A and B are shown apart, each in its own frame.
Chain A
Amino acid sequence: MSEAAVMHHAVEPAEAPLTPESWGKLGMWVFLAGDAMSFGVLLLGYGLLRHSSSNWPLPSHVLGIGLTAFMTFLLICSSVTMVKGLEAVKNNQRSTAKKYLLLTILGGAGFLGLQAYEWTHLIHEGLTIDGNPWGSSLFGTTFFVITGFHGMHVTGGVIYLLVMLSVVSKRANALGPGWTYNVVEVLGLYWHFVDLVWIMVFTFIYLL
């Protein structure tokens, strides 16, 4: 073994434990586990405040279930297009992958548009962070903090998707198909997590 080869071997990063495909994937999982704690604690806080309040409005009477059910449907659809996009990257079908990523972006953007519409509508009805016509003012605070925190995640996800769309479009061959598959898979993990969190938010904030 030449000296250069030994040197090269010495600086070669070790394979990621748990996710031999890439370190990025392990990193994303660890980040998501932490992020899940943020959402978990927010929802627990919501439950505690609601439990100790005597005049908490019934969410399904005040918030529009139909619209948010459709938003849930949009996110579920965008999760499928994400996973189909990853499948296309795996099979080296670049134009199919781009099409699916674009559909995923449209799903996310549609979700954000509807959320902006929903917020505007509710604010006009008098729901704000310091009061509402139906009961405890904490109802509005928790609603805006939790759906807002999730909405910021969707916004970040749409930006992330746009960046990755350009990566898949332009640099697919620069670093090899394996690399592209890895980075799109890591993106997918984030996007599905945002969908998973919305399933929880929809249940706890709107339906319960």
Chain B
Amino acid sequence: MADTHASPNYWKIWFYLFVLTVVEIGVIYLPLAKIVIAVLLVTLACYKAFLVAMYFMHLKFERLTLAIIALTPFILCVFLILMLIPDIA
């Protein structure tokens, strides 16, 4: 399977990750509400993690079931957050 796909342009992914990191640092100095900054940062971080998993870890070129295994901890963490919200809100 490793040989059936063309290699992605890794330097392009590197460039995206670099730019997104710079944007993240810029975001913390924006004059926005704390919650807006938090949402922006978490979204940017998840997108960076997504790029690393899809292209560097080749998840994009694997079977769907493997991607589901990789997503399981993420789903469980979201579930845990949802279960905790009534306690901290």
Binding site for B on A (CB under 8 A): 17-21, 26, 29-30, 32-34, 36-37, 40-41, 44, 48, 51-52, 60, 65, 69, 72-73, 76-77, 79-80, 82-84, 87, 90, 181, 185, 188-189, 192-193, 195-196, 199-200, 202-204, 207-208
**Complex A-B: 12 CB contacts under 8 Å:** A18-B63, A18-B66, A32-B70, A33-B73, A40-B77, A48-B84, A48-B88, A76-B21, A80-B13, A196-B57, A203-B24, A207-B27
Contact residues in B for A185 (Cβ distance below 8 Å):
2, 58
- B69 part of interface (Cβ distance < 8 Å): yes
- B77 smallest CB distance to A (angstroms): 4
For B3, B57, B72, the residue with the greatest tally of chain A CB atoms inside 10 Å of its CB is B57
- B36 part of interface (Cβ distance < 8 Å): no
* Docked complex Cα distance between A44 and B42 (Å): 13
Chain A minimum-CB-distance residue to B63: A18
Contact residues in A for B42 (Cβ distance below 8 Å):
203, 208
Chain A minimum-CB-distance residue to B16: A76
* Docked complex Cα distance between A121 and B17 (Å): 28
Q: Would B88 and A200 count as touching, CB distance under 8 A?
A: no
Q: Would B62 and A80 count as touching, CB distance under 8 A?
A: no
Contact residues in B for A20 (Cβ distance below 8 Å):
1
- Interface residues on chain B, number (Cβ under 8 Å): 42
Listed from nearest, the 5 A-B pairs whose CB atoms lie closest are: A203-B45, A36-B73, A40-B77, A192-B56, A80-B14
- B66 smallest CB distance to A (angstroms): 5
Contact residues in A for B58 (Cβ distance below 8 Å):
185
Contact residues in A for B21 (Cβ distance below 8 Å):
69, 72-73, 76, 202
Chain B minimum-CB-distance residue to A34: B73
Contact residues in A for B88 (Cβ distance below 8 Å):
48, 51-52
- Asked if A196 meets B81 with Cβ closer than 8 Å, knowing A20-B1, A76-B18, A203-B41, the reply is no
* Docked complex Cα distance between A82 and B14 (Å): 12
Contact residues in B for A30 (Cβ distance below 8 Å):
69
* Docked complex Cα distance between A128 and B66 (Å): 41
- Asked if A19 meets B62 with Cβ closer than 8 Å, knowing A51-B88, A76-B17, A196-B53, the reply is yes
Q: Would B52 and A65 count as touching, CB distance under 8 A?
A: no
* Docked complex Cα distance between A50 and B21 (Å): 24
* Docked complex Cα distance between A181 and B76 (Å): 32
* Docked complex Cα distance between A192 and B66 (Å): 16
Q: Would B10 and A208 count as touching, CB distance under 8 A?
A: no
Contact residues in B for A80 (Cβ distance below 8 Å):
10-11, 13-14, 56
Contact residues in A for B1 (Cβ distance below 8 Å):
20-21
Chain B residues 69 to 87 lying within 8 A of chain A, measured CB to CB, are 69-70, 72-74, 76-77, 80-81, 84
Q: Would B38 and A208 count as touching, CB distance under 8 A?
A: yes
